[in-house]
Structures are given as C-alpha cells and as structure tokens.
Amino acid sequence: SSIIGPSDYSTTVGNANLGSDSLGLNPQKTVSYEIGLWQELGNNLGLEVNLYYRDIYKLLSLATVSTYNQIEYGIYTNKDYGNVRGLELKLDYSDKNLFLQMNYTYQFTRGNADNPTQTFNRQGASIDKVIRFIPMSWDQRHTFNVSIAYSSERFGISATGYYNSGTPYTFSPQGESNLALLNLYPNNDYKPSNYHADISGYIILPTILSLTPKLELLIYNLTDRYNEYGVSSETGRAYTAVVNNTELLSHRSNFNTYDDRYKDPSMFSGPRQIKLG
C-alpha cells in the first residue's frame, strides 16, 4: 500500500474501468472507410490512389475519481476519441535492373486528447479541459518518400529519401498571464519541416584464391542535414530561447555558459556518416 498526498496530481492509481462489466480496459476500436484506384500507366509502371477516413474510439484516457474526503486520483479508462483522414498517392516502376517507388501522403489527425494523461494533468493544474479537437502529436500534413535502386550481376546502387512537414508542439510564449495560458491549447503550432537522404552501393570484386570479395558503401544523411526534431516551446526552433538580461546576469558557473542551458544537441538529427567495408 502507499499514501499519496492530496497535492500530488502526477500520481495515477489503478487500471480498472469502473464502467465496464469486466472491470478492465477495453480494446481500441477503429472504423475505417477507404476508396482506392490502381491503374497501370505503362509497362512495369503503376499508379495507386487511396482516399481514407478512420474513426478511432475507446482510446486510453484517465478518469478523475474523487473520494469522500475530496482526494482525487486517476483511473485508466477508455473515453478518448480521434480520427484520421487523408489521401495517399503511390507510383511504382520496376524492370529487370531498375526499381523506383514514390509515395506521397496528405493527412490530418485530430482528437480530444493527445495522450492518456492530458485531461487528468490539466484538471490537476486547474486548467479547463480541451473542448475541441486538437492536432495529435503525429499529425503531419505532407509526407513524401522516394526509393530508387539499380542492380546488376557485379554492382548495385540504391538511394532513399524523404520530406516531412513538421509535427505539432505546444507553443508557450514567455511572460503570458495565467488567463492567457488557459486559452493555449496543446499542439497549437508546428515544428520546421525536415528531409533526409541515404545512399548505398556495392561492387563484387574479381575472384582471388577462390574468394569473391565484396565492397560495400553506405552514406547516411547524404546532404548532412541537421533536422530539428526538438524545438523550444518559446521560439519553435532548436538551439534558441528567449533570454532576458536578468537571467544572463544571474548565471554563475565555472563550467558552462548560459547558452548551454538551452542548446541541446539531441534536438537535431545525426550528422553525415560514411561506412565502407
């Protein structure tokens, strides 16, 4: 057993759904509607178009339970809802040596909560619950992927790349009033877009002493692009922050500068890597 303080809003207890006959969580339910078309445009060339909509019911959430002495805690339940709608275009080409595939997705995802604890945490912080659909954390308007490969008996080369529009984050400007904070819905802005490309290849060398050596090359992040996967909630960009003179003057350290507080290298994707073997 354990004792939870009345001001401890971060602790949740139990996993029972009090409204269920089995006193347990129910499985997520998805209702999907799709219509598609596949068309052969030429020899070895095909186009696929897919239009879809999905309702997602019984997403995991936390219901707030109050005891007789006004202590509140959370119990996992199934009451959240989300939906997904979008359009997908796919182009394929292949022959004896060459393969090409391109895919583009235009998509919206919405829901009443971005994660199971969102409503519970907002109530614990005396913030009104979200009363409209908000973008989910994986909402990404544009996604484009391309893969191309050529292979023969002695050598081969392939390249892959993608472009993604940014995913949501919660913009929280500095110095906002408590009243303004109440009106800031989660996931109210988007991170910068990102792109990435890899290339790999191989060549089979002449046989030496009954051995057939193979040389392989892999280049990860070909363009050495530093994608911003993490951003500041105040600026919407990585390696930036809103800093006033008082904060700068109050910084005391023999080991780092004030900039080190917000310059987090993990906000960026990894640099170019070249492997040969």
Over the stretch 170-181, which tens digit does the pLDDT of each residue have? Answer: 988 776 566 665
Torsion angle defined by CA atoms of residues 110, 111, 114 and 120, in that order, rounded to the nearest 10 degrees: 160
Q: Number of structural domains, the chain?
A: 1
Domain ranges, residue 117? 29-276
For residues 274 and 114, give the distance between their C-alpha atoms in angstroms, rounded to a whole number: 38
For residues 96 and 252, give the distance between their C-alpha atoms in angstroms, rounded to a whole number: 66
Within a domain: 3 = no
The yes-or-no verdict on residue 8 having pLDDT over 50 is: no
Which percentage of the chain shows pLDDT scores above 90?
A: 45
Within a domain: 47 = yes
Structure tokens that stand for 141 in this block: 């308007």
For residues 273 and 223, give the distance between their C-alpha atoms in angstroms, rounded to a whole number: 10
Query: What average pLDDT does range 119-141 have in this prediction?
Result: 85
Confidence of residue 124 (pLDDT cuts 50, 70, 90): confident
> Tell me: the pLDDT tens digits for 23-46?
478 888 999 999 999 999 888 999
Within a domain: 45 = yes
Within a domain: 14 = no
For residues 259 and 111, give the distance between their C-alpha atoms in angstroms, rounded to a whole number: 36
- Residue 134: is it exposed, middle or buried by C-beta count within 10 angstroms (0-12/13-18/19+)? buried
Q: Which amino acid is at 31?
A: V
Closest of 269, 266, 265 to residue 223, by C-alpha: 269
Within a domain: 15 = no
Query: What average pLDDT does range 5-20 have in this prediction?
Result: 44
Within a domain: 16 = no
For the chain, how many helices (H) and strands (E)? Answer: 3, 12
Query: What average pLDDT does range 81-99 have in this prediction?
Result: 94
Within a domain: 4 = no
Of the listed ranges 94-98, 116-120, 121-125, the least confidently predicted one is 121-125
Within a domain: 129 = yes
The yes-or-no verdict on residue 254 having pLDDT over 70 is: yes
Query: What average pLDDT does range 125-132 have in this prediction?
Result: 80
Close Cβ partners of 40 (under 8 Å, ≥ 6 residues apart): 46
Structure tokens that stand for 180 in this block: 């303004």
The yes-or-no verdict on residue 93 having pLDDT over 80 is: yes
The whole-chain average pLDDT of the chain stands at 85
